[in-house]
Amino acid sequence: MRIDKDCLGQMEIEDDVLYGIHSMRAVNNFPITNEKVNPVIIESMLEIKLAAAKVNYQAGTLEENKANAIIKACQKLIHDHDYRDFIVPAIQGGAGTSTNMSTNEIVAQLAYRMTNLKIHPNDDVNQSQSTNDTFPTSGKMAMLKLTPKLLEAINNLINQFTQISLKHQKTVKIARTQLQDAIPTTYGRSFQAYASLFKRDYKRIRNAAKSLTKINLGGTAIGNGLNASNYYKNNIAPVLSSISGLQLQPASDLIDATQNCDVFAEFSAALKILAMDLSKVANDLRLLSSGPQAGLNEITLPKRAAGSSIMPGKINPVIPEVVNQVAFEVIGKNLTVSMAAGAGQLELNAFEPIMFRDILTSQKHLTNAINTLVEHCLKDIQINELYNRKNVEKSAITATILTPKLGYEKSTEIVKRALHNNESVKDIVLEEHLLDKSTVEKLFSPEILTNCNNQDSAIQ
């Protein structure tokens, strides 16, 4: 055992671990969850410590041997992805201080073991830094690192909807407004509308992520840069960008960037809207596939699992259902982020830990949910074309096409008769000689009923 000290006292720490007293205090103080700080935040914190050591050495404020020891320790931890000693809980008080202090002591301890050089966690590893600029920067970096996979998933979703749209440009169906029969449309248009929806989500998330590239490193405690050299302030962002592969820039107002969290709320809101859109589409898929005998049964989803322990042969829409649940989760987490972002006081927001935990979880779950929807549902979805065509042919709502020629009142009479006698609108018009046969055939053709000539260009 070794004795570790802080401003509150001392504590025995096992010899074989890298963490120290700050990590143990966090574990003891915050027994909220077994979930640890996200590994992507840890990686980002280590990259910050590595960059800081380089810049501080270049600035002449950190000895070369100490800088090299810190750099070597950070590189090993990042390369090995060995984060077992990062035991600080994800949900923590202190605005991320426990995470920063834990990183400092782990890097210092590993540097000592690798070089036999005494490295101070605060004076050396944390030089020119504060939790208040390292922790929010690590959170932004983590979000930026997870964004490409999410955008790739959304792009795959768009492409899949587009493929289905192109395949079914002329597959007619009955549209529905307020769950009641409406005028005919095509599945090509319906699925192209989904593709258009997620194109907006793609742009929205990509644009929101741009704000995350502005960091407050060099601002230290409140954004005024106390204890950081001018060289450090001017060079930490480009050096960190080179190490991380991210395009990071100093915020134009470091005090603003230290105390305000609107960029996190903005990014979370973009994720929430994506979740909302996914839920809407998942609901549509469940509804359209309902039945198959007593529901709409317009589409058939891939059979992924037995649906009942008591009803033989029952199959449930399990993939849209899991997407729905992820959407509900993300929408709830966005509320948490919104409340946390608005709860900061004066020069600092203390609630970034829960914001980062929820945003990063939302990114990961949305990515996985979208990939699941594409691979396990959309790629093998089937449109029941014959069934849909018969629905259109017998639908009384097709009388809408008659209103320009027969008027609203006469068309309404035809609809009432068709519904009452279970007749087709087309047959009624022909029987009553309301229009000549060639006109009727043209009006009730799929192209005219679905107004394809005016909108197919949107599908191309």
Choice among 4-18, 118-132, 445-459 with the minimum mean pLDDT: 445-459
- Is 308 in the active site? yes
Query: How confident is residue 120, by pLDDT bands cut at 50, 70 and 90?
Result: very high
| DSSP one-letter string for 140-191 | HHHHHHHHHHHHHHHHHHHHHHHHHHHHTTT-EEEEEETTEEEEEEEHHHHH
Q: Are 137 and 217 in contact (CB under 8 A)?
A: yes
Q: Are 330 and 273 in contact (CB under 8 A)?
A: no
Tokens of 417: 């008769």
Give 57-115 pLDDT, tens digit per residue. 999 999 999 999 999 999 999 999 999 999 999 999 999 999 999 999 999 999 999 99
Question: What are residue 9's phi and psi, to 5 degrees?
Answer: 150, -145
Give the rounded percent of residues in the chain with a pLDDT score beyond 70.
Answer: 98
Judged against a pLDDT cut of 90, whether residue 1 lies above it is answered with no
Residue partners of 273: CB distance under 8 A and separation at least 6: 201, 204
Judged against a pLDDT cut of 90, whether residue 326 lies above it is answered with yes
Q: Nearest Cα to 356, choosing from 126, 24, 82, 92?
A: 92
Query: How confident is residue 458, by pLDDT bands cut at 50, 70 and 90?
Result: very low
Per-residue confidence (pLDDT) for residue 453, from 0 to 100: 63
Where is pLDDT greater, at 424 or 337? 337
Judged against a pLDDT cut of 60, whether residue 455 lies above it is answered with no
Judged against a pLDDT cut of 70, whether residue 344 lies above it is answered with yes
Averaged pLDDT score across all residues of the chain:
94
Choice among 198-212, 301-315, 330-344 with the minimum mean pLDDT: 301-315
Question: What are residue 16's phi and psi, to 5 degrees?
Answer: -90, 5
* pLDDT (mean) for 372-389: 95
CA dihedral (213, 219, 220, 226) in degrees, to 10, reads: 170
Per-residue confidence (pLDDT) for residue 433, from 0 to 100: 86
Residue 52: Cβ-neighbour burial (10 angstroms; 0-12, 13-18, 19+) = buried
Query: How confident is residue 459, by pLDDT bands cut at 50, 70 and 90?
Result: very low
Judged against a pLDDT cut of 90, whether residue 431 lies above it is answered with no
* pLDDT (mean) for 272-301: 96
| DSSP one-letter string for 93-152 | SSTTHHHHHHHHHHHHHHHHHHH-----IIIIITTT--HHHHHHHHHHHHHHHHHHHHHH
Judged against a pLDDT cut of 60, whether residue 456 lies above it is answered with no
Please tell me the distance from the alpha carbon of residue 230 to that of residue 432, in angstroms, as a whole number.
Answer: 90
Choice among 58-62, 157-161, 265-269, 393-397 with the minimum mean pLDDT: 393-397
Per-residue confidence (pLDDT) for residue 454, from 0 to 100: 60
Give 253-269 pLDDT, tens digit per residue. 999 999 999 999 999 99
Judged against a pLDDT cut of 70, whether residue 37 lies above it is answered with yes
Judged against a pLDDT cut of 90, whether residue 336 lies above it is answered with yes
Q: Are 240 and 47 in contact (CB under 8 A)?
A: yes
Where is pLDDT greater, at 421 or 459? 421
Judged against a pLDDT cut of 80, whether residue 452 lies above it is answered with no
Give 175-212 pLDDT, tens digit per residue. 999 999 898 999 999 999 999 999 999 999 999 999 99
Of the listed 128, 308, 411, 457, which one is catalytic?
308
Query: How confident is residue 396, by pLDDT bands cut at 50, 70 and 90?
Result: confident
